[in-house]
Structure 1
Amino acid sequence: MRRPRGEPDSRAPRPTERVTYAGPGESCFPSDGPLLCALEQERRSRLPPKPPTPHQPATHGGQRLEMALSCPHFLRYPRQHLIRSLAEARAEDLTPHVMVLLAQHLARHRLREPQLLEAIAHFLVVEEAQLNSKVVQKLVLPFGRLNYLPQEQQFLPCLERILAREAGVAPLATVNILMSLCQLQCLPLRALQFVFSPSFINHISGTPPSLIVRRYLSLLDTAVELELPGYRGPRLPQRQRVPVFPQPLITDRARCKYSHKDIVAEGLRQLLGEEKYRRDLTVPPGYCTDFLLCVGSSGAVLPVRTQDPFLPYPPRSCQQGHADSKPTTQDSTQRVVLMLRERWHFCRDGRVLLGSRALRERHLGLMGYQLLPLPFEELESQRGLPQLKSYLRQKLQALGLRWGPEGG
């Protein structure tokens, strides 16, 4: 659009402005303008750290480790960097603060690195007398989350001694430690008897962490019911129990747009019909399931509305008190739970389920639900809904399930 004759050009420089013209390869923006300043700042943030100058003393392994762990950009410091920094650190540099940073780093990024985890376990054993339960809960966190039981032989005895010494001091830290051990299937009986005692429960009632402690105690009580048939100590009173995981986990809700749940739901709807499955159903004692089907004795998939989708809890066992006994029900209806195994349900770069996921699947199996895992590799290989429906059909038929006119 042409400007009217005689009107000044707004793009023309003012008399007081100094204009420089860009040469070959240079920007046409002012060198001190806000855009180039922002780009330069971003460029510097992407550069690796500069080597120490003669005026700055070289950092030792402990300092490098702490600097790496304190940096929010995880990918800049891969695990090899952490292992090398830890190996070069002096004994006096490995303080509780540094080791807690390392433990939190591994847990946050799902890094199941044995060398680093063993170093944390060894530190915990060596420094046992100087550590309180609030620090220990942070050091133990990655072991339960990453489903890793260290080879350090004194790891479990050390935690039992710390729990015996500190259990009455910090209730939330105590149950946090027990939660990590629960994921590892290593619950100490003496500590369980303490947290289920009336004095401990009365002590935490009415306190700010009361609800979260009751949720953890409810999960621990479930683990005692399902995994420790020989336990004869106190249990959590019925009035104190709350649902364990009544809704999808936080990570699943945060990554819902990357999940396969919606497309699997659509595949089941077209394959079975809406009345023959339930999505995100919470079953007693409070575990949220991805998809649940009710199956008759003939293998027919039944409408869920005509069946009780819940198995009784506590389960009735064929042989009371026998660890290998399978739960039985009064009816012959089988409950099949389809479990989505997304990428973030595993430790990074591995095939080990995270502790919380493994615990949920283990408990659902012990309660009598038949599990049908749907791994993310198989789901990602399906190209479109028709292929996914064929995949689900093969999975269900492999279990002997039938539907439609011949399946009821």
Structure 2
Amino acid sequence: MALITLRRNLCHLSDFRMHGALAALRSQPVNHVHKVAKKRLCPRSCPLHLGPFKVRFHHARRKEFHSENGNDLRPVGEAMFSDRDSFEQNLENMDEQVFYRSLSNFTSSEEVLSFLSTLQTLPDVLAAGALQRICEMERKAEAHRLPKEILENRVFQALCIQFEQEPSNLSNTGLVTALQALTLLYVDPQSSLLLNLVAECQRRLQRGGLDVHSLCVLGETLIKLQGPESTTLDLIIYQLQGEKLENFAPEDIVALYRVLQACAEKADQHQAFLNRINNFSLSLVPNLSPKSISQVLTALVALDQTQALPLVLKLGKYAVRHIPHFTSEELGRVLDAFIYFGHHDRFFTTALEQRVASLCLTLAPEAVSRVMEYCSRKQILSQPILNAVAETFVCQAEKFSPRQVSELIEPFGKLNYLPPNASALFRKLEDMLFARFNSFPPKTLLKLLHSCSLIERHPVNFMAKIFSPYFLQQLQGEESCLDRLSLAQLTQLLLTSLLECPFYKGPKLHPKYQVKSFLTPCCSLETPVDFQLYKSVMVGLMDLLGARLYFASKVLTPYCYTIADVEIKLDEEGFVLPLTADEDVHRRIALCIDGPKRFCLNSRHLLGKEATKQRHLRLLGYQVVQIPYYEIETLTRLELVEYLQRKLFSQNAGVCW
């Protein structure tokens, strides 16, 4: 292994003999040195000013190291200590654990470089780790490039010039770690330092001389430098396919997922390899960190690994334990994956409720919107989450973008839930809409206002705007016509204004934007009837009424709703009329046979669109009779007939047919 010599008291380096890189620099004019340094590393606006320094190589025993979260750099499988006084100036005999621990404790690049200046020799792996730590801290400071003070620091120059001039003497770990570190910030891709490191990596790759960990690190680095189309990346994946998965550390498996994720368009070519990885990863899940779990789930989504459900389920099981430790971004990724794979777990929901209820005010807006989307997609009526999010919006509405506002409010309508602070919530929403109406994309605004109407918070103050030709033209955009869902939402808002807001006297929706039925094969505002449940009720009705001709199904009302379940007609005396009768109809009964899909998950709480439909049918003059699945699923045939008799004719015990 190469050892980089970093002498104490760099200001007195003129007392030392010049060797290697120092001699080469010393022999050149100052202007030439500046020019060469500029080509090596810096962006064009950041020239390096190299001064004299001494570099010397020794051979030392190498240890692998691993950075799980980008901060905690340490040797793999070894503990860490904080006794900095135990450092020896000669790192050939120094405990590397202490070195990585110290790097983790530093809070600035200047501290790292000051510390390195106290050392005489530095193994290349540790030098690469120090370089990586410097780049990580500058990246967290949102710097796009290294500051001039760092670039002109002689210790930093010593690190870079050694990596450039002697890459063949570096260990695999030192080589790929140095290259990885430089990709964290903007460095000119054509700099001699990067070109030399990449060339050396390619030479070793061609010889098959890189270990599994180095291949994984190099793969990720080349993706950043050359993109997923790199031909070298194909060779890396090919070599990794030939390795035994038992030789991969957990962090290498996670890195491999990230590499394959970047090549998602080639997933079909690597599916056999992915199947092996997915099966092998089942045994690694207990050892994965929260960050790794989120990254694996994200990769599985990108790679469309729907056949890897056992792995998704196991990752979900362990994600429950890590919910308190996920960052906002990681939690959002986990929720996105669960939404994609259709996964939900009551233990996960319980843990999520605790996290959101306790930390909602500190969660990033994007994480809050992902939590709400998860509840909405899975139809989870979680009062702790919805209440906490409503309170967050009231307190911090200005932090949310228009899209996030829509994603936050829509679940309240879909799940048919009003939080305790509903008045404050919708007052805040109305104020925001008045102030930022034009900043909301048309479809986002329509979905938002439609969701409000589902829970009887009717957007009367905005109906004139959304029914206007100008808004409808914006909504249509460059398409030849509006999509079916948007038309249905507009039509239902019109119906709401007629039935529930008779005081609204503004413009109405033009007939060409109105639909005839809310029940469509996709994007429907009505949930189709559960067929098995419908068959059971139909048998009971035939036993009760005597014949099929006394009730109808799939009846389209004049107001777009489809009574897809059952409609029964009664005359003035309460007698049941045949379904073909059009005269003497005094009363109509709409039987709503509500299966599980019409309710929130694992609850008896109707979804917003179903509650709105039943509310509107009552306003249209129907007698709505609800037949929920949980009341009839265990009844015998005779018990079902008696049940239907009570439900339909409780006030007309002497009815005849």
TM interval, shorter chain, is 0.7 to 0.9
Q: Which region of structure 1 is more displaced relative to structure 2, 58-67 or 168-177?
A: 58-67
Alignment check: 8 A CA contact 2:519 2:526 kept: no
Query: Which of the residues 358, 361, 373 maps onto 2:626?
Result: 373
CA distance in 2 between counterparts of 1:203 and 1:267 reads 50
Higher relative contact order (CA 8 A, sep 6+): 1
Aligned residue in 1 for 2:472: 201
Aligned residue in 2 for 1:6: none
Q: Using the TM superposition, give the Cα deviation of residue 282 of structure 1 relative to its aligned residue in structure 2, in angstroms.
A: 1.8
Q: Using the TM superposition, give the Cα deviation of residue 71 of structure 1 relative to its aligned residue in structure 2, in angstroms.
A: 4.6
The question of 1:243 aligning with 2:530 is answered: no
Alignment check: 8 A CA contact 2:590 2:623 kept: yes
Q: Which amino acid aligns with 1:221?
A: L
The question of 1:347 aligning with 2:617 is answered: no
Q: Using the TM superposition, give the Cα deviation of residue 296 of structure 1 relative to its aligned residue in structure 2, in angstroms.
A: 0.6
Which secondary structure does the structure 1 equivalent of 2:325 belong to? coil
Which secondary structure does the structure 1 equivalent of 2:447 belong to? helix
Alignment check: 8 A CA contact 1:144 1:183 kept: yes
Aligned residue in 1 for 2:174: none
Aligned residue in 1 for 2:541: 268
CA distance in 2 between counterparts of 1:247 and 1:50 reads 37
Cα 1:39–1:237 shift into 2, 3 Å: closer
Cα 1:131–1:387 shift into 2, 3 Å: same
Aligned residue in 1 for 2:393: 124
Query: Which of the residues 179, 186, 199 maps onto 2:450?
Result: 179
The question of 1:142 aligning with 2:411 is answered: yes
Alignment check: 8 A CA contact 1:65 1:85 kept: no
Cα 1:102–1:263 shift into 2, 3 Å: same
CA distance in 1 between counterparts of 2:469 and 2:276 reads 66
Gap runs ≥5 in structure 1? 1-34, 309-330
Residues 70-117 of structure 1 show CA distances to partners (whole Å, capped at 9, x for unaligned) of 45232174332012222554855x222211110011112222222211
Q: Which amino acid aligns with 1:109?
A: K
Cα 1:234–1:40 shift into 2, 3 Å: same
CA distance in 2 between counterparts of 1:62 and 1:197 reads 40
Aligned residue in 2 for 1:296: 571
RMSD: 3.3
CA distance in 2 between counterparts of 1:114 and 1:230 reads 33
Q: Using the TM superposition, give the Cα deviation of residue 399 of structure 1 relative to its aligned residue in structure 2, in angstroms.
A: 4.1
Q: How many residues align?
A: 342
Which secondary structure does the structure 2 equivalent of 1:74 belong to? coil
Q: Using the TM superposition, give the Cα deviation of residue 275 of structure 1 relative to its aligned residue in structure 2, in angstroms.
A: 1.6
Q: Which region of structure 1 is more displaced relative to structure 2, 128-137 or 367-376?
A: 128-137
Q: Using the TM superposition, give the Cα deviation of residue 41 of structure 1 relative to its aligned residue in structure 2, in angstroms.
A: 5.5
Aligned residue in 1 for 2:71: none
Q: Which amino acid aligns with 2:604?
A: R
Cα 1:170–1:70 shift into 2, 3 Å: closer
Alignment check: 8 A CA contact 1:280 1:288 kept: yes
CA distance in 1 between counterparts of 2:276 and 2:366 reads 39
Q: Which amino acid aligns with 1:280?
A: K
Q: Using the TM superposition, give the Cα deviation of residue 59 of structure 1 relative to its aligned residue in structure 2, in angstroms.
A: 3.0
Q: Using the TM superposition, give the Cα deviation of residue 357 of structure 1 relative to its aligned residue in structure 2, in angstroms.
A: 0.8
Alignment check: 8 A CA contact 2:414 2:451 kept: yes
Which secondary structure does the structure 2 equivalent of 1:348 belong to? coil
Alignment check: 8 A CA contact 1:61 1:89 kept: no
Aligned residue in 1 for 2:649: 397
Alignment of 1:9-408 (within 5 A): 45=311, 46=314, 48-49=317-318, 59=325, 62=328, 65-66=331-332, 68-72=334-338, 73-75=343-345, 77-87=347-357, 89=359, 91-92=361-362, 94-152=363-421, 153-168=423-438, 169-205=440-476, 207-208=478-479, 209-247=482-520, 252-253=527-528, 256=530, 259-272=532-545, 273-289=547-563, 290-307=565-582, 333-383=586-636, 385-400=637-652, 406-407=656-657
Alignment check: 8 A CA contact 1:295 1:334 kept: yes
Which secondary structure does the structure 1 equivalent of 2:318 belong to? coil
Q: Using the TM superposition, give the Cα deviation of residue 135 of structure 1 relative to its aligned residue in structure 2, in angstroms.
A: 2.1
Larger Rg: 2
CA distance in 2 between counterparts of 1:198 and 1:87 reads 43
Q: Using the TM superposition, give the Cα deviation of residue 243 of structure 1 relative to its aligned residue in structure 2, in angstroms.
A: 2.8
**Structure with more of its chain in helix, by fraction:** 2
Q: Which amino acid aligns with 1:279?
A: S
CA distance in 2 between counterparts of 1:79 and 1:112 reads 10
CA distance in 2 between counterparts of 1:203 and 1:62 reads 34
Q: Which region of structure 1 is more displaced relative to structure 2, 392-401 or 187-196?
A: 392-401
CA distance in 1 between counterparts of 2:364 and 2:514 reads 39
Alignment check: 8 A CA contact 2:591 2:626 kept: yes
Q: Using the TM superposition, give the Cα deviation of residue 62 of structure 1 relative to its aligned residue in structure 2, in angstroms.
A: 3.8
Which secondary structure does the structure 2 equivalent of 1:147 belong to? coil
Q: Which region of structure 1 is more displaced relative to structure 2, 125-134 or 331-340?
A: 125-134
CA distance in 1 between counterparts of 2:649 and 2:417 reads 35
Query: How does the TM-score come out when normalised to structure 1?
Result: 0.73
Cα 1:87–1:237 shift into 2, 3 Å: closer
Which secondary structure does the structure 2 equivalent of 1:78 belong to? helix
Alignment check: 8 A CA contact 1:301 1:402 kept: no
Alignment check: 8 A CA contact 1:62 1:85 kept: no
Query: How does the TM-score come out when normalised to structure 2?
Result: 0.47
CA distance in 2 between counterparts of 1:51 and 1:175 reads 35
Cα 1:304–1:157 shift into 2, 3 Å: same
Identity of aligned residues (%): 25
Gap runs ≥5 in structure 2? 1-274, 286-310
CA distance in 2 between counterparts of 1:370 and 1:216 reads 25
Q: Which region of structure 1 is more displaced relative to structure 2, 391-400 or 58-67?
A: 58-67
Q: Which amino acid aligns with 1:116?
A: I
Cα 1:189–1:395 shift into 2, 3 Å: closer
Q: Using the TM superposition, give the Cα deviation of residue 242 of structure 1 relative to its aligned residue in structure 2, in angstroms.
A: 1.0
